[in-house]
Each structure stands twice: as C-alpha cells, then as structure tokens.
Amino acid sequence: MVETKPIVLVTRKLPDVIEARLSRDYEPRLNPNDRLYSSSEMIERAAGADAILPCHTESFSAEILEKLPQSVRIIANFSVGYDHVDTAAAKARNIVVTNTPDVLSDATAEITMMLIIGAARRASEGERMVRAVEWRDWSPAFMVGTQVTGKRLGILGLGRVGQVVARRARGFDMEILYHDEARLDPDREAGATYFERLEDMLPRCEFLSLHCPATPATRGIISEATLAMLPDGAILVNAARGALVNDQALISALKSGKLAAAGLDVFNNEPNIDPEYRALTNVFLLPHIGSATRETRDAMGFRAIENLDAFFSGSEPVDRVA
C-alpha cells in the first residue's frame, strides 16, 4: 500500500533546496511563478490540503481562517513574525501555527546596521547624486551627516535580533540602552542599560532601533508623543514591523527636522507605502529585505519543514506559537 503524503499548500516561490525537500516528503502545491494569491485564491487552492506554508505576505484573519477547508491542520509560517495570523481564531479552529525564529537574527541585524549607517551618512542622497552625475566637487560643507561611532543606541525589544544588533553596534563603540517587557539576565544584557519605562529611555537615544513584535500593545508605538521625547536630531531605524510606526507622525518629524533621518526596511501596507516617504531625502529606504540572504532563506525553509515534520509525526513543533 502506498503511503499518502500530507498535502502542503506553498503560497510563494521558495528556494530550490526547500522545494526539493518538500517534494521528497510531502505533496506540495507550489507557486513557481511567485504570484501573490488573493485570499479567495488561497482558500480555493487549500482545498484538501493538510497544511499551508505561507509567508508574511498572506493574511489569515478570523474570517479567512473560518473559510479554510477543515482539512488544514497547521500553518507553518516562513517568517519569524506571525502578526499576519489571528492566532486566537486559529486556536478556535484547532489549527496549529508555527514560525521560524533564531535563523534570521544575523541577517536582520546586518540590515539594521546598514539602516543605521545609511541613514546617518545620507547614503541614499549620495548614491542618487553619483548616478545622476550631480556630484560636482568636494567641500567641508558637502554631504555632512551624523557620526555613528560612540553614540547612544536605544533598542526597543532586546530579543534575538535586538541582542545581535547590540553586539554589532558595540563594534562602533555605541552605548546600548534598551526597553523591554522585563529586564534580561546579565549574560544576555551584556552591559546594556535597562529602562523599565520607554519614556525614560527615549530622551537619551541618539539612535533608536525597533525590534519588538507587532502586538496590540506595540502597534503605533512610534507616535507623535514618543517621537517628541527623542532628542532633536535623533535617527530612527525599523527592521521589525511597519505597524510599530504611525506614518504621519514619523513623516512630520522628518520634515520638521525633529529627526535628522530614518532608515526603514518595513512599512505599513507594504508594498504600497505612504508616498511621502519617497519624496523625503532624509529617509534610507529598503524593500523589506532583512532576511534576504541565501543562507537565511534556506534556514527559514528548513525550519518551517522541521515544524511540519514534527507535527505530522505526532510531536509538538518546537516553534509553535498557537
């Protein structure tokens, strides 16, 4: 008797090695053209599927989860963030939800440092100037930015990624401050200064880097009120989730000069971001590529498959979040 393999709906094009591994042990429904499915298409393609392996580009609201076929028993996300899934609704449907933590910390920390340096040293302006043949000469007043070395870096959320960012930033002799739900143990804190209240940390931050998940408590946490607490000329970077930021508040702070610059890899309503960002010269913009290295994307895929393997073998997935 031929053993039936679990059917897995794969919503986006995955690395070749990941699709090969899925094809070995599962019956995957692949997306070779990497087309973004509408919610109705995804629900239709999930007919008879035992699992869905999506990315953060797919939304699983309570309404969508209710419409999924009863055959779907697990959503194994190809992402560390899972705010695109209504986990309470998934639990109500007895659908297990997993993510892929740990494996993208280094890559995301690298992008964070790029955002910090790129925003501080006006990299976008300089790159455009060279390409447009607008670079005329050198002078002491030309393209003056903000020095990174020795500055105070506030980290909002000293979790896996935040801790790696702190280690990288210490290479620039930055002083690390952080705010989180609770103070970390000394080994993970590694000399960083803890602030129980965010409002006590913000006035000391010459740079502020966001590394907390998007939750009801943190959505829009970067607001007109919190931005006003930063020192004049501070620099904000975000490689976590766009939902942490109130766009109009940030844009106003950049236009007024309250902030010297910002570096952003994530946005609300991606990829249809607020068009005002594109018009600002003091914003270093990237298209959500924090985990975009071959090594990391492969590791994310294998981690998602490990969660599927555990589930279908009757074990508890190590990365279960719902």
Q: Do residues 49 and 90 touch, judged by C-beta distance below 8 A?
A: no
Query: Is 189 a catalytic site residue?
Result: no
Q: Do residues 262 and 175 touch, judged by C-beta distance below 8 A?
A: no
Query: Is 270 a catalytic site residue?
Result: yes
Crossing angle for the helix pair 105-120 and 123-131, nearest 10 degrees?
Answer: 70
CA distance 36 to 15: 16
DSSP secondary structure letters along 113-124: HHHHHHHHTTHH
Residues 6+ apart with CB under 8 A from 258: 227, 228, 230, 232, 234, 252
Sign of CA dihedral 206, 212, 216, 220: positive
Catalytic residue among 56, 121, 288, 303: 288
Q: Please give the single-letter amino acid code of residue 86.
A: D
Residues 6+ apart with CB under 8 A from 274: 247, 248, 251, 267, 268
Q: Do residues 194 and 183 touch, judged by C-beta distance below 8 A?
A: yes
In order of 17, 70, 113, 145, 237, the CA distances from 120 in angstroms are 38, 51, 10, 6, 10
CA distance 31 to 10: 7
Sign of CA dihedral 278, 79, 43, 30: positive
For residue 73, the 8-state DSSP code is -
Catalytic residue among 270, 294, 295, 316: 270
Query: Is 288 a catalytic site residue?
Result: yes
Catalytic residue among 56, 241, 297, 303: 241
- Residues involved in catalysis: 241, 270, 288
